[in-house]
Structure 1
Amino acid sequence: MIPTLIEILDTSIANVALGHIQGSLSAGQDEVTWVLTSYLVSNAVVIPISGWLSRLMGRRDFLLASIALFTLSSMLCGMATSLEALILFRVVQGVGGGGLQPMSQAILLETFPPNQRGMAMAIFAMGAVMGPILGPLLGGYITDNYSWRWIFYINVPIGLLAWFMNWLYIQDPPYLERRGENEGIDVVGLGMLSVGLASLQIVLDKGQQDDWFAADHILILSILAGVCLVGFIFWELRQKNPIVDLRVFRDRSFATGNVVMFCGFFAFFGSIVLLPMYLQTLMGYTAFLAGVVLGPGGLIMLLFLPLVGKLTQRVDARFLLFIGLLISAGSLWYMSGFTLGIDLGTAIFARNIQAVGIAFFFVPLSFLTMAFIPREKMNNASAIFNLLRNLGGSFGVAFVTTLLARRTQFHQHRLVENLSPLDSAYSISLERIKQAVALRLGEFADTTTYAAGVIHRYLQREAAAMAFYDVFYAQAMMFLALCALMWIMRRPPKGGGMPQGGH
């Protein structure tokens, strides 16, 4: 779980430090965002091929090499003296981090007996779910009180601990043989996957900023991603030793679980971005107060994850997942009813309800998705599952930022229709503000222009708030729709056990 936690932390911990990095390294606004994008791109490429790399090198050796590379590159990121060097080391860090999530999950699933796999997924979820929550909070605290370099240096002692623990306790099971000498390298498949995922990640990360398909480079990268990834699917299905074995999707529980995970993290990760943004930009919360809202939810998740893991041994995991989806939908629906006058307790309550829902979502879903996967295919299946989870988060962030901008424009256009001298409410408000301005600045001040500006700022704030509520509502409906889809998954064996022949 430790390698998973530090890897996911690094997908978001640098977000809040970009301004400090920009000033320290004399970089432009567009240039410094590559500190985030470079990591996500290399990470996305390595995750799906981690199963193949574990066969090539041996899973234990691959995991240890990944931890070592991630730890070393983290130290080099902190020591970087130029933006170019930092971006290069972030690429290497993403390569090292790509195998940490899927290998950790595969090892946990195989180490625990089948009737305890729900608990294993609860342990894994502590890293996978807590990472996106702790990242911005930890990054902000370190940056404000120390230096942005320490957001990378902090990985070094944790990485060394993770390497030593895995070296001491992890061994490859007998059925996982190192087959590097017997397997050729599927160069065509590797090339199409790398180019396709790299292009897709850049599109998702830069699309809203560059106005999507209005920008030629976004359009070209989108076409390239589509062609490469579609071509990759057809190519891999015809290979004897594919880089990524897509035949695992023949299991309907695995296929459905991946769809639910993609859509669930699509909505969940988007809301993790939205709520702090809403509190800080519209409610005037400081970064610390936004952290106060998010922090208790993390503690609640830590309490509920082991409980849900234990429940998978006694209750149909599909029912637990159904509860998680309903609670998640309810929390987002509650957020869609916010107003600009809510107090701190209301925001904390909504976030805490969401935390309970995510605990009931992630653990049963991971257990159900992997319930019928043979042990020897667990590395490959785990790699695909983690890739789609990460892509769901990337798509979710791109979706919410785009929808937020579009809905803000829509509501602003509709509200402006009422800003007319013929509208009595507008005229009354304008006169009141003009009188207040005159009392404060004197009769000779341009009270009309000042009052109109005040009303316009209020209008922009209200339009933005209405857009936030629309996006929260859309995410709630997505969780609600998944309630029907999840019943396609097969009923897990009683007590969490694997049926005969399951291996």
Structure 2
Amino acid sequence: MAPSDVNKWLITASVMIPTLIEILDTSVANVSLTHIQGSLSAGQEEVTWVLTSYLVANAVVIPMSGWLARLFGRKRYLIFSLILFTISSLLCGTATSLAELIFFRVVQGVGGGGLQPMSQAILMETFPPEERGVAMSIFGIGVVVGPILGPLLGGYLTDHYSWRWIFYINLPIGILAILMIISFVFDPPYQQRWVKGMKVDYLGLTLLAVGLGCLQIVLDKGQMEDWFSSNYIIGLSVVAGVCLVTLVFWELRQEHPILDLRIFKDRSFATGNVVMFLGFFAFFGSIVLLPLYLQTLMGYTAFLAGVVLGPGGMLTLAVLPIAGKLTQRLDARYLLGFGLLANAYSVFYMSGFNLNIDLATAVTGRLIQGIGMPFFFVTIAYVTMAYVPNPHMNNASAIFNLLRNLGGSFGVAFVTTMLARRAQFHQSRLVEHLSQYDPSVQMWLTELKRSLAHQIGSVGDQTQRALSVIYLQLQKQATAMAFNDVFHLQMIIFLGLVGILWIMRKPPIGKSPSPGGH
């Protein structure tokens, strides 16, 4: 079959299957950690490296993927990545110790790192410029829905079979994806290729790997280590900062860099990456916060928390193609503005939650977000990449996906840290106004003592037990107020992004000629 004869929807299916399983694997193991810990006799802190090792390897490989595609050829690199990802998934499932599992997760992360950016680049090149919004709506199915479905799928497989099946399930899907890519995906004639005699940028490669690896560990482990009170985190932060700053200056001076940063001269691409980073910073933070709020404060089970998230995910799936089609009729910057405002309103709505909300109220917050997120993701990818020439699409996609993933990692680290800090703040403020000599507190204490005596059947003094109940309630209220604060901060981020949209150039609409060139 000639490359020009391949139907674009076959190409789309070929690259979306590996994208979806790779994104699922970033979160599918989250709910299985306790089972893995018991099965492999691991400590609580040690077992979290099952997640961290994959994320670190992924973060290092993503920005290299454009260079690796030039070096080996994109199709060969995709096939090699899939083979490595599939075999390592099988080995993860057969691991007999934690050390083995972590090692195979690193290999799996190396294999999976190139799948997202290469798939996005192929989709952007396969569809004509005026249909790239449709292409990004399809890509968004994996990127937006994957992190939501991952924990649900992981929980189901772990509960009904074994934690090993969260890795085994990749085997048939990976084989199918490899066969489809061999059959339907081809390297375009304009793709930049590695010419014999070109020097390998070994220093850039080292700076990139060490800098991003250290940064990802800091983001993943920082809150657990209490951030900069830990010499371990301080050391990694210094190494990451020095390496990444040096990398920028070094790469700008190289003729054949690992990561071509000159593409940031395009103002639409530069601004779009800022909006993407901060947008996913706020979005992933809220994805973490809502189920945490429901399970820790409202007493929801994991299943009920999934019920709250599910309708929003389904609505996102329904709206994604609508957002993609609208980019063919309207200026995508207006659609992006709507997406940001809808996301801002969703987290503003959640910032008004209290400990008495019902299920419908919780679901409504996610439904609003389910409408806004497709308009944000589809249009930001479309506007950002609108004026990137096709020969540079691999490099641009690698940078775009790197910053999207880093935005999510920074967002999760930020919300978990702010949640702990604001809960401490509110607790200290509430304690200031809580005195046994306050008449309302005395009435509450008396009522609690009477209730406890009735439940326990004891005639002794119940003061200490009653005070403990009051203190627990105070902690719960302080934590709820902290959640409200963090939701409010996310709203401010989304609103702030609306103001910088107009720096980006107007993208093509309808049947405009290609701005990127072939």
| TM more than 0.5 | yes
Contact 1:418 1:426 in 2 (8 A): no
| Code of the aligned partner of 2:114 | G
Distance of 1:320 and 1:152 partners within structure 2: 38
Which of the numbers 462, 469, 486 marks the counterpart of 2:484?
469
SS in structure 2 of the partner of residue 242 of structure 1: coil
Which of the numbers 129, 134, 143 marks the counterpart of 2:144?
129
Distance of 1:320 and 1:333 partners within structure 2: 20
| Residue 265 of structure 1: aligned partner | 280
Contact 1:77 1:149 in 2 (8 A): yes
Contact 1:57 1:180 in 2 (8 A): no
1:67-216 alignment, distance < 5 Å:
67-176=82-191, 178-179=193-194, 181-216=196-231
| Residue 374 of structure 1: aligned partner | 389
1:10 aligns with 2:25: yes
| Residue 8 of structure 2: aligned partner | none
| Code of the aligned partner of 1:60 | K
1:237 aligns with 2:260: no
SS in structure 1 of the partner of residue 317 of structure 2: helix
1:342 aligns with 2:352: no
| Residue 63 of structure 1: aligned partner | 78
CA shift for structure 1 position 180: 5.3
1:397 aligns with 2:374: no
Contact 1:279 1:285 in 2 (8 A): yes
| Residue 45 of structure 1: aligned partner | 60
SS in structure 2 of the partner of residue 273 of structure 1: helix
| Residue 311 of structure 1: aligned partner | 326
Contact 2:389 2:515 in 1 (8 A): no
Of the structure 1 ranges 177-186 and 141-150, higher mean CA displacement relative to structure 2 is found in: 177-186
Contact 2:129 2:515 in 1 (8 A): no
Give the 3 Å change call, closer, same or farther, for CA 437–96 of structure 1 in structure 2.
same
Which of the numbers 450, 459, 471 marks the counterpart of 1:435?
450
| Residue 494 of structure 1: aligned partner | 509
Distance of 2:500 and 2:513 partners within structure 1: 23
| Code of the aligned partner of 1:329 | A
Per-residue CA distance 1:5-31 (angstroms, 9 max, x = gap): 111111111111111100000000111
Give the 3 Å change call, closer, same or farther, for CA 443–14 of structure 1 in structure 2.
closer
Which of the numbers 39, 48, 57 marks the counterpart of 1:33?
48
Distance of 1:271 and 1:39 partners within structure 2: 22
Give the 3 Å change call, closer, same or farther, for CA 428–498 of structure 1 in structure 2.
farther
SS in structure 2 of the partner of residue 494 of structure 1: coil
| Code of the aligned partner of 2:65 | S
CA shift for structure 1 position 498: 4.2
Give the 3 Å change call, closer, same or farther, for CA 289–496 of structure 1 in structure 2.
farther
CA shift for structure 1 position 493: 2.4
SS in structure 1 of the partner of residue 499 of structure 2: helix
Distance of 1:353 and 1:393 partners within structure 2: 20
CA shift for structure 1 position 444: 3.1
Contact 1:15 1:36 in 2 (8 A): yes
Of the structure 1 ranges 174-183 and 472-481, higher mean CA displacement relative to structure 2 is found in: 174-183
Structure 1 residue ranges without an equivalent (≥5) = none
CA shift for structure 1 position 178: 3.6
| Code of the aligned partner of 1:217 | Y
Contact 2:32 2:155 in 1 (8 A): yes
Per-residue CA distance 1:28-71 (angstroms, 9 max, x = gap): 01110110110000100000010000000000000111111111
Distance of 1:162 and 1:273 partners within structure 2: 30
Per-residue CA distance 1:138-179 (angstroms, 9 max, x = gap): 111111121111111111111111111111100001112542
1:228 aligns with 2:238: no
1:300 aligns with 2:315: yes
Distance of 2:303 and 2:453 partners within structure 1: 37
| Code of the aligned partner of 1:46 | V
Which of the numbers 418, 430, 436 marks the counterpart of 1:421?
436
CA shift for structure 1 position 501: 6.9
| Code of the aligned partner of 1:171 | F
Contact 2:336 2:375 in 1 (8 A): yes
Per-residue CA distance 1:215-234 (angstroms, 9 max, x = gap): 00100000000000000000
SS in structure 1 of the partner of residue 433 of structure 2: coil
**TM-score, normalising length: structure 2:** 0.96
Distance of 1:499 and 1:111 partners within structure 2: 12
Distance of 1:249 and 1:40 partners within structure 2: 25
| Code of the aligned partner of 1:184 | K
Which of the numbers 291, 308, 316 marks the counterpart of 1:276?
291
CA shift for structure 1 position 421: 1.7
SS in structure 1 of the partner of residue 347 of structure 2: helix
Contact 1:254 1:369 in 2 (8 A): yes
Contact 2:27 2:151 in 1 (8 A): yes
CA shift for structure 1 position 419: 2.1
SS in structure 2 of the partner of residue 331 of structure 1: helix
Distance of 2:72 and 2:458 partners within structure 1: 80
Per-residue CA distance 1:399-431 (angstroms, 9 max, x = gap): 000000000001111111122122121111001
Contact 1:11 1:39 in 2 (8 A): yes
Structure 2 residue ranges without an equivalent (≥5) = 1-15
Distance of 1:201 and 1:500 partners within structure 2: 35
SS in structure 1 of the partner of residue 198 of structure 2: coil
Distance of 2:133 and 2:458 partners within structure 1: 72
SS in structure 1 of the partner of residue 163 of structure 2: coil
| Code of the aligned partner of 1:144 | D
Give the 3 Å change call, closer, same or farther, for CA 163–500 of structure 1 in structure 2.
closer
| Code of the aligned partner of 1:484 | G
Give the 3 Å change call, closer, same or farther, for CA 445–146 of structure 1 in structure 2.
farther
| Code of the aligned partner of 1:428 | M
Distance of 2:64 and 2:160 partners within structure 1: 39
SS in structure 1 of the partner of residue 298 of structure 2: coil
